[in-house]
């Protein structure tokens, strides 16, 4: 009898514990539902909120980012010039600055970003899962990625091409000389696909050596485990500037690599916001507005500039109106971008010019480059 | 979401109701009217607790699945496996894989590389681990200390670190290809480009190359002769053993069997006019040919895993040897067995029985740890999958495939292990 009593107690205990778990479950989902309908409920688990919101697809990413007050970016942490962690632990670089551009436009604060460093292969799964709001990690826009990755590629921020780097004393002067060499390349990149396709087509045999990160690729190249390092030409330039050995970039550029921000499919509003934030930085350069001189445009007579900066425009009756473009962004989003981060040219000069990169195709269309954006009206 | 949960709870409540109704009906059919009511009956409550537990597990699973499906619907991810027939765009070092062949083929090439790490590494790990395990029990002070330091060092640092460390050591410790270390070889300078290298063994930071057997004329016939020699050697082994059992004359079966194998093979070699030769590895204008070649990343991950796993195996070996009762060793001494004989015939057979199940565990760990090869650039299964992630392929399906591949590896391994383990157990009388 005593035994039986114990068993009963144990069972009752288990039942109670399970009951508690069950209540906890249901109450937490209640809370989520509330948070989603907009009630001010203290949200303990932000992940859950995001989960539920995505299941009901109300509000969208823009509302979620504004509610959270932080923009979640996927970035690089091992590529000088584009995305790297500097000596005091902060992310910096060209791609990181564009993350700041978006944060300045959406939240009015360019520092309200949280960068998640990703290796190449993690990029798309992370974007698919909704962990990051935008991916800005030197990611190449291709048809199959746009089509099959459930990713939505936006305005290109940097036009690049795939190049090859060798040691200057290697005696390799062209891609043909590189036959039978070992070629170092990063896993999960378009670089790898181009390498296989182009060298395959040209009948140049090679041994691929794939690494997950530049942290391992670089010592392998320095120790001559591979004779050739292939990547986007801009990346090669940025590494050449940091290596102790003499290197040469071969004249062969084998691909087009348009790099830009990426968002998950299915949220047009958010895609437009990101797109126009990026384009505002480019437009600012075209207008000649920089972070230094933006104050002098406050009484500009140019209605195009006034509209762009969200300054009031007076009509004939003396009423002043602020132009609203209807993107869901504050009217002064371009002002925030320029004053907090700078225009496209400034971002380029700050991050990429020190590595010896020229504007090239990334110059404004007015100067013969490809940077051309639709009008802001 | 809440609605789904409520629906599930309702279904469970109905099930519980039906159960109680059936239970009461059966009890009244038996005619035993006494006993507590169902809500106070232990038997009923135990079942009810299990139903409730199942309900919680199901609703959590249901919640997660619904969440997953909502996200995949939102971004338009299709959950099918059609992409497996698409070209992979992947090429793998020292593999004939064509980048234009399908993703399936790329996965198979990856699995093959995983298997290569496994099949070469496991025997090495067992050998090294056994030696170190025995060394730890040695009476030689220095040997014991060295073995102890080895075990404590490798057992207590992360596997990934061991692999990356091994890789770095090989990368920096071995020369560039053009300055390869050659054993019984020579190097000829070329007019332009790197020199031509040739040798019995070639070591550099790209690959290790060993000599192999290269078939010539009549090689097929020689293989038949060799097979005959193996059969004859086994027959010799059996005959010597039986002879020993029957008459007690020393069997010397190892000696006899190898002699048989050697004699028949050598006769066959000369009769067939030298059907094979040693294929020496060479590197000409960066093209490696002949011999057996191992890429450096492969050596790094395999060797790193061997070093790591051996430290665990050494502890298993030591523990299992110590588990053999002291009386057994003393009995061996009493029979005037030598140290080697005592180990070979008394201690090790008993220790092996104890060591086997944890050994299989280490093999399983080893298999799973092969996925760390991506860190040093060896393209095995995980590396191939990672590559596919980065291209245009759906992650959920790929992760599922990846999990199933490792699961299959592990389950097959443990099935074989269990089979052997059953044979090893002492048959109860």
Please tell me which of the candidates B53, B60, B67 has its beta carbon nearest to residue A55. B67
pLDDT at B18 over 70: yes
Query: Which pLDDT belongs to residue B161?
Result: 95
Contact A99, A75 (CB under 8 A): yes
Query: Which pLDDT belongs to residue A114?
Result: 95
Query: Which pLDDT belongs to residue A2?
Result: 41
- Is the Cβ of A42 closer than 8 Å to some Cβ of chain B? no
- Rounded to 10°, the helix B381-390/B103-136 angle is 140
- Written as six digits, the tokens of A69 are 């007050």
Instruction: Answer whether B171 sits within 8 Å of A30, measured CB to CB.
Output: no
Q: Which of B389, B394, B397, B400 to mutate to test the interface with A (most CBs of A within 10 A)?
A: B389
DSSP B293: E
R_g of chain A, CA atoms, integer Å:
26
Q: Between these two residues, B426 and A11, which has the higher pLDDT value?
A: B426
Contact A330, A322 (CB under 8 A): no
- Is the Cβ of B164 closer than 8 Å to some Cβ of chain A? yes
Runs of H (alpha helix) within A89-223 = 94-107, 123-129, 143-148, 190-202, 214-222
Instruction: Give ∠ CA A347-A353-A358 in degrees, rounded to 5.
Output: 110
Query: Which pLDDT belongs to residue B288?
Result: 84
Tell how far CA B61 is from the center of its chain: 32
pLDDT at A257 over 70: yes
Quickly tell me which residue has 């020993």 as its tokens: B244
Cβ-Cβ contacts under 8 Å, A192 against chain B: 89-90, 387
- Is the Cβ of A23 closer than 8 Å to some Cβ of chain B? no
Q: Between these two residues, A98 and B393, which has the higher pLDDT value?
A: A98
Q: Which phi and psi (to 5°) does residue A208 adopt?
A: -80, 145
pLDDT band at A313 (very low <50, low <70, confident <90, very high): confident
Q: Between these two residues, B45 and B159, which has the higher pLDDT value?
A: B159
- B371-383 in b/e form (b: 16+ CB < 10 A) is bbbbbbbbbbbbb
The 10s digit of each residue's pLDDT in B76-98 is 888 889 889 988 888 888 888 88
Nearest to A107 by CA among A341, A283, A268, A286: A341
Query: Which pLDDT belongs to residue B128?
Result: 96
Cβ-Cβ contacts under 8 Å, B110 against chain A: none
Query: Where do the domains of chain A lie, and which CATH numbers do they carry?
Result: 1-158+258-377 (3.40.190.10), 162-255 (3.40.190.10)
Query: Which pLDDT belongs to residue A15?
Result: 43
Share of chain A above pLDDT 70, in %: 84
- Is the Cβ of A312 closer than 8 Å to some Cβ of chain B? no
Residue of A nearest to B1 (CA): A29
pLDDT band at B33 (very low <50, low <70, confident <90, very high): low
Query: Which pLDDT belongs to residue A23?
Result: 39
- Mean pLDDT (chain B) is 88
- Rounded to 10°, the helix B141-155/B103-136 angle is 150
pLDDT band at B67 (very low <50, low <70, confident <90, very high): confident
Sheet holding A262-264, edge to edge: A113-117, A71-75, A134-135, A262-264, A151-153
Sheet holding B181-183, edge to edge: B181-183, B201-203, B207-210, B292-295
Quickly tell me which residue has 């095995």 as its tokens: B380
What does the alpha-carbon distance between residue B377 and residue A221 come to, in Å, rounded to a whole number?
12
Query: Which pLDDT belongs to residue B273?
Result: 82
Instruction: Answer whether B67 sits within 8 Å of A51, measured CB to CB.
Output: yes
Cβ-Cβ contacts under 8 Å, B63 against chain A: 25, 29
- Is the Cβ of B304 closer than 8 Å to some Cβ of chain A? no
What does the alpha-carbon distance between residue B426 and residue B405 come to, in Å, rounded to a whole number?
34
Nearest to A194 by CA among B90, B96, B102: B90
DSSP A365: G
Contact A262, A154 (CB under 8 A): yes
Contact B394, B77 (CB under 8 A): yes
Q: Which phi and psi (to 5°) does residue A267 adopt?
A: -135, 85
Q: Which of A33-37, B199-203, B205-209 has the lowest mean pLDDT?
A: A33-37
Query: Which pLDDT belongs to residue B34?
Result: 65
Q: Which of residues 258-297 of B touch A (CB under 8 A)?
A: 285-287, 296-297
The 10s digit of each residue's pLDDT in A143-172 is 888 876 678 999 999 999 999 999 998 889
Which H helix or E strand runs over B276?
strand B276-279
- Is the Cβ of A208 closer than 8 Å to some Cβ of chain B? yes
pLDDT at A370 over 80: yes
Q: Which of residues 172-201 of B touch A (CB under 8 A)?
A: 172, 176-177, 192-193
What does the alpha-carbon distance between residue B213 and residue A226 come to, in Å, rounded to a whole number?
29
Query: Which pLDDT belongs to residue B37?
Result: 74
SS3 A229: strand
Instruction: Answer whether A55 sits within 8 Å of B66, measured CB to CB.
Output: yes
Task: Look at chain A and count its residues.
Answer: 377
Contact A106, A231 (CB under 8 A): no
Q: How far is B406 from chain A (nearest CA, A)?
A: 20
Residue of A nearest to B206 (CA): A225
Q: Which of A111-115, A213-217, B287-291 has the lowest mean pLDDT?
A: B287-291
Runs of H (alpha helix) within A203-259 = 214-222, 233-240
pLDDT at A10 over 50: no
Cβ-Cβ contacts under 8 Å, A147 against chain B: 392
What does the alpha-carbon distance between residue A287 and residue A292 come to, in Å, rounded to a whole number?
13
SS (HEC) of B160-224: HHHHHHHHHHHHHHCCCHHHCEEECCEEECCCCCCCEEECCEEECCCEEEECEEEECCCHHHHHH
Query: Which pLDDT belongs to residue A149?
Result: 61
pTM reported for the whole predicted model: 0.79
pLDDT at A357 over 80: yes
What does the alpha-carbon distance between residue B58 and residue A22 come to, in Å, rounded to a whole number?
11
- Is the Cβ of A22 closer than 8 Å to some Cβ of chain B? yes
Contact A284, A344 (CB under 8 A): yes
Cβ-Cβ contacts under 8 Å, B388 against chain A: 188
Query: Which pLDDT belongs to residue A37?
Result: 40
Cβ-Cβ contacts under 8 Å, B49 against chain A: 11, 14-15, 18
- Mean pLDDT (chain A) is 83
Instruction: Answer whether B76 sits within 8 Å of A208, measured CB to CB.
Output: no
Instruction: Give ∠ CA A253-A254-A259 in degrees, rounded to 5.
Output: 85
- Rounded to 10°, the helix A94-107/A344-351 angle is 140
ipTM of this predicted structure: 0.81
What does the alpha-carbon distance between residue A372 and residue A142 come to, in Å, rounded to a whole number?
20
What does the alpha-carbon distance between residue A194 and residue A290 come to, in Å, rounded to a whole number?
38
Quickly tell me which residue has 């057997």 as its tokens: B213
- A131-168 in b/e form (b: 16+ CB < 10 A) is ebbbbbbbbbbbeebeebbbbbbbbbbbbbbbbbbbbe
């Amino acid at each position: 009898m005593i035994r039986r009593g114990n068993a009963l107690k144990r069972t009752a205990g288990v039942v109670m514990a399970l009951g508690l778990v069950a209540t906890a479950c249901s109450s937490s989902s209640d809370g989520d539902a509330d948070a989603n309908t907009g009630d001010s409920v203290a949200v303990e688990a932000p992940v859950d909120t995001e989960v539920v919101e995505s299941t009901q697809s109300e509000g969208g990413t823009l509302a979620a980012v504004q509610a959270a007050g932080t923009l979640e970016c996927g970035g690089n942490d091992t590529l000088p010039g584009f995305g790297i962690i500097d000596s005091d632990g902060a992310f910096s670089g060209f791609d990181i600055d564009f993350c700041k551009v978006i944060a300045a436009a959406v939240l009015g604060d360019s520092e309200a970003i949280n960068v998640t460093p990703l290796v190449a292969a993690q990029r798309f799964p992370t974007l698919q899962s909704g962990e990051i709001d935008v991916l800005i990690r030197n990611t190449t826009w291709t048809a199959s990625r746009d089509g099959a990755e459930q990713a939505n590629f936006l305005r290109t921020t940097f036009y690049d091409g795939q190049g090859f780097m060798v040691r200057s004393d290697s005696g390799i002067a062209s891609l043909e000389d590189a036959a039978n060499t070992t070629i170092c390349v990063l896993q999960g990149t378009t670089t790898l696909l181009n390498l296989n396709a182009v060298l395959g087509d040209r009948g140049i045999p090679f041994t691929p050596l794939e690494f997950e990160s530049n942290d391992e690729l670089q010592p392998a190249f320095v120790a001559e485990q591979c004779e050739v390092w292939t990547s986007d030409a801009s990346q090669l330039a940025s590494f050449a500037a940091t290596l102790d050995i003499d290197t040469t970039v071969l004249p062969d550029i084998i691909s087009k690599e348009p790099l830009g921000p990426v968002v998950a499919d299915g949220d047009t509003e958010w895609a437009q916001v990101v797109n126009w934030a990026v384009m505002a930085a480019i437009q600012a350069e075209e207008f000649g507005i920089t972070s230094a001189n933006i104050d002098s445009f406050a009484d500009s007579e140019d209605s195009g500039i006034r509209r762009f900066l969200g300054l009031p425009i007076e009509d004939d009756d003396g009423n002043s109106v602020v132009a609203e473009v209807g993107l869901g962004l504050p009217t002064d989003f371009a002002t925030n971008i320029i004053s907090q981060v700078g225009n496209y040219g400034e971002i380029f000069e700050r991050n990429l010019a020190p590595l010896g990169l020229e504007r090239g195709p990334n110059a404004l269309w007015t100067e013969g480059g490809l940077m051309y954006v639709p009008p802001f009206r | 979401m809440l609605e789904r949960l409520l629906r599930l709870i309702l279904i469970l409540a109905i099930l519980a109701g039906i159960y109680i109704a059936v239970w009461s009906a059966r009890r009244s059919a038996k005619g035993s009217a006494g006993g507590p009511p169902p809500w106070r009956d232990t038997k009923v409550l135990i079942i009810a607790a299990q139903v409730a537990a199942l309900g919680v597990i199901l609703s959590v699973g249901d919640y997660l699945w619904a969440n997953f499906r909502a996200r995949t619907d939102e971004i338009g991810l299709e959950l099918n496996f059609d992409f497996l027939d698409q070209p992979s765009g992947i090429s793998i070092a020292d593999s004939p894989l064509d980048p234009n062949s399908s993703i399936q083929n790329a996965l198979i090439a990856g699995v093959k590389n995983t298997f290569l790490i496994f099949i070469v590494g496991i025997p090495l790990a067992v050998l090294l681990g056994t030696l170190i395990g025995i060394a730890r029990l040695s009476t030689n002070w220095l040997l014991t200390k060295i073995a102890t330091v080895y075990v404590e060092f490798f057992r207590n640092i992360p596997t990934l670190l061991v692999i990356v460390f091994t890789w770095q050591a090989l990368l920096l410790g071995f020369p560039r290809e053009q300055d390869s270390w050659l054993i019984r070889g020579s190097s000829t300078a070329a007019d332009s480009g790197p020199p031509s290298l040739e040798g019995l063994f070639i070591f550099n930071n790209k690959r290790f190359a060993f000599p192999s057997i290269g078939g010539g004329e009549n090689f097929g016939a020689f293989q038949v002769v060799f097979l005959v020699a193996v059969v004859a050697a086994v027959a010799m082994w059996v005959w010597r053993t039986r002879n020993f059992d029957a008459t007690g004359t020393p069997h010397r079966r190892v000696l006899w069997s190898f002699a048989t194998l050697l004699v028949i093979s050598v006769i066959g070699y000369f009769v067939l006019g030298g059907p094979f030769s040693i294929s020496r590895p060479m590197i000409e204008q960066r093209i490696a040919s002949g011999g057996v070649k191992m890429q450096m990343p492969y050596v790094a991950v395999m060797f790193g895993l061997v070093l790591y796993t051996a430290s665990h195996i050494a502890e298993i070996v030591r523990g299992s040897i110590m588990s053999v009762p002291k009386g057994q060793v003393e009995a061996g001494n009493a029979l005037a067995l030598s140290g080697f004989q005592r180990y070979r015939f008394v201690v090790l057979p008993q220790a092996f029985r104890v060591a086997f199940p944890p050994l299989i565990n280490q093999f399983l760990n080893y298999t799973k740890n092969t996925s760390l090869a991506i860190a040093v650039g060896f393209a095995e299964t995980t590396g191939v999958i990672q590559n596919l992630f980065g291209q245009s392929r759906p992650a959920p399906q790929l992760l599922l495939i990846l999990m199933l591949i490792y699961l299959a590896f592990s389950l097959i391994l443990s099935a074989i292990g269990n089979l052997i383990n059953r044979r090893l157990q002492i048959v109860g009388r």
